[in-house]
Structure 1
Amino acid sequence: MTGAGTTGAGIGMTGAELNRPRIAVLADWWWPNLVGGAERSARSAALELARTAEVAVFVPAPADEVYSDGPLTVHAVRRPYARRVHADSALRRGLELLTAWLLPAVASRQIRALRAYRPDVVVATNVSRTGPWLLRWARASGVRLVRSYHDLSDTCWRRSRRRGTENCAEICAGCRVKTGVMRRATPPTAVAVCVSGFVRDELERAGLTSRETSLVAYPLVGAPGGASATYRPDPMRLVLGYLGRVAPVKGVEAAIRTAAAYRRNTGAAVTLLVAGDGQPDYLRELAALAAAQQVDVDFAGQLDVEAFCARIDAALIPSTWMEPFGRVAVEVGSRGRPMLVSRVGGLPEAAAVSGGRFAFTDFADPEAAARALGELLDGRTDATTAPAPGAAMPLEQGVLTAVARALEGWPGNREEQPA
Structure 2
Amino acid sequence: MPTKRYGSAGSDRSQFCTAACRCLALCSVAGQTVRLVVGAERVAWLLRIRSVSSNRRPEERYRQLRVLIANIVYATPSDPRVVGGAEVSTKALAEGLVARGHEVVVFRGHDSKVADADENVEGVRVVSRDIRNFYWPFDGVVRVKASKAMWHIVDNLGLVPRGLTDLLDEFAPEVVHTNNLIGLSWGVWREAAKRNIPIVHVLRDYYLVCGRSARFRNGRICTSTCAECRVATFARGPKTVLVDAVIGNSKAILDTHLEAGLFVNAKIRTNIVNIAERRAVRVVRSEDGFVTFGYIGRASSEKGLELLAKAFGRMQGNVKLVIAGETRPEVRQRLVAEAGREIDFMGFVAPDEFYSRVDVVVVPSLWAEPLPRAVLEAFSYGRPVIASERGGIPEAVGTAGGGWLFNPDSVDDLVAIMNKVASERTLTDKAALQAFESARRFSAENVTEAHLAVLRAVTVK
2:239 aligned partner: 185
User: Does the Cα contact within 8 Å between 2:240 and 2:263 map onto a contact in 1?
Assistant: no
| 2:283 is aligned with 1:238 | no
Cα distance in 2, alignment partners of residues 16 and 251 from structure 1: 45
Higher relative contact order (CA 8 A, sep 6+): 1
1:342 pairs with 370, 388, 393, which one?
Answer: 388
TM-score (normalised: structure 1): 0.79
User: Does the Cα contact within 8 Å between 1:67 and 1:74 map onto a contact in 2?
Assistant: yes
What is the letter of the counterpart of residue 73 of structure 1?
A: R
2:13 aligned partner: none
Size of the alignment, in residue pairs?
Answer: 396
Structure 2 counterpart SS, 1:159: coil
1:74 pairs with 109, 117, 126, which one?
Answer: 126
Cα distance in 2, alignment partners of residues 91 and 375 from structure 1: 43
Aligned counterparts, 1:302-317, within 5 A: 302-317=348-363
1:369 aligned partner: 414
1:54 aligned partner: 103
Residues 223, 20 of structure 1: CA spacing in aligned structure 2 closer, same or farther, 3 A cutoff?
Answer: closer
Residues 101, 289 of structure 1: CA spacing in aligned structure 2 closer, same or farther, 3 A cutoff?
Answer: same
Residues 79, 87 of structure 1: CA spacing in aligned structure 2 closer, same or farther, 3 A cutoff?
Answer: closer
Q: Using the TM superposition, give the Cα deviation of residue 342 of structure 1 relative to its aligned residue in structure 2, in angstroms.
A: 0.9
Aligned counterparts, 1:17-416, within 5 A: 20-31=64-75, 34-35=81-82, 36-50=84-98, 51-61=100-110, 62=112, 63-81=115-133, 86-87=138-139, 89=141, 94=148, 97-98=151-152, 100-101=154-155, 103-107=157-161, 109-177=163-231, 181-187=235-241, 190-209=244-263, 213-220=268-275, 237-263=290-316, 268-291=317-340, 295-352=341-398, 357-377=402-422, 378=424, 379=427, 390=440, 394-409=446-461
Structure 2 counterpart SS, 1:153: coil
User: Does the Cα contact within 8 Å between 1:124 and 1:146 map onto a contact in 2?
Assistant: yes
Please say which of residues 364-373 and 270-279 is displaced more in the overlay: 364-373
Residues 202, 234 of structure 1: CA spacing in aligned structure 2 closer, same or farther, 3 A cutoff?
Answer: farther
Q: Using the TM superposition, give the Cα deviation of residue 196 of structure 1 relative to its aligned residue in structure 2, in angstroms.
A: 0.9
Residues 337, 191 of structure 1: CA spacing in aligned structure 2 closer, same or farther, 3 A cutoff?
Answer: same
User: Does the Cα contact within 8 Å between 2:252 and 2:370 map onto a contact in 1?
Assistant: yes
What is the letter of the counterpart of residue 358 of structure 1?
A: G
Please say which of residues 107-116 and 119-128 is displaced more in the overlay: 107-116
Cα distance in 2, alignment partners of residues 227 and 68 from structure 1: 30
Q: Using the TM superposition, give the Cα deviation of residue 332 of structure 1 relative to its aligned residue in structure 2, in angstroms.
A: 2.0
Unaligned runs of 5+ in 2: 5-19, 27-48
Residues 24, 315 of structure 1: CA spacing in aligned structure 2 closer, same or farther, 3 A cutoff?
Answer: closer
Cα distance in 1, alignment partners of residues 267 and 343 from structure 2: 48
Q: Using the TM superposition, give the Cα deviation of residue 259 of structure 1 relative to its aligned residue in structure 2, in angstroms.
A: 2.0
Per-residue CA shift, 1:56-89, capped at 9, x if unaligned? Answer: 2222344543222232222223444475794264
Residues 98, 153 of structure 1: CA spacing in aligned structure 2 closer, same or farther, 3 A cutoff?
Answer: closer
Q: Using the TM superposition, give the Cα deviation of residue 145 of structure 1 relative to its aligned residue in structure 2, in angstroms.
A: 0.8
Per-residue CA shift, 1:272-298, capped at 9, x if unaligned? Answer: 22222112111111122233xxx3322
Cα distance in 2, alignment partners of residues 316 and 122 from structure 1: 36
Residues 220, 341 of structure 1: CA spacing in aligned structure 2 closer, same or farther, 3 A cutoff?
Answer: same
Identity of matched residues, %: 22
Unaligned runs of 5+ in 1: 410-419
Residues 372, 77 of structure 1: CA spacing in aligned structure 2 closer, same or farther, 3 A cutoff?
Answer: closer
Cα distance in 2, alignment partners of residues 12 and 71 from structure 1: 28
Structure 2 counterpart SS, 1:320: coil
Cα distance in 1, alignment partners of residues 281 and 116 from structure 2: 46
What is the letter of the counterpart of residue 214 of structure 1?
A: R
What is the letter of the counterpart of residue 213 of structure 1?
A: I
User: Does the Cα contact within 8 Å between 1:245 and 1:276 map onto a contact in 2?
Assistant: yes
Q: Using the TM superposition, give the Cα deviation of residue 158 of structure 1 relative to its aligned residue in structure 2, in angstroms.
A: 1.0
Residues 227, 280 of structure 1: CA spacing in aligned structure 2 closer, same or farther, 3 A cutoff?
Answer: closer
Please say which of residues 82-91 and 186-195 is displaced more in the overlay: 82-91
Cα distance in 2, alignment partners of residues 12 and 80 from structure 1: 44
TM-score (normalised: structure 2): 0.73
Residues 364, 233 of structure 1: CA spacing in aligned structure 2 closer, same or farther, 3 A cutoff?
Answer: farther
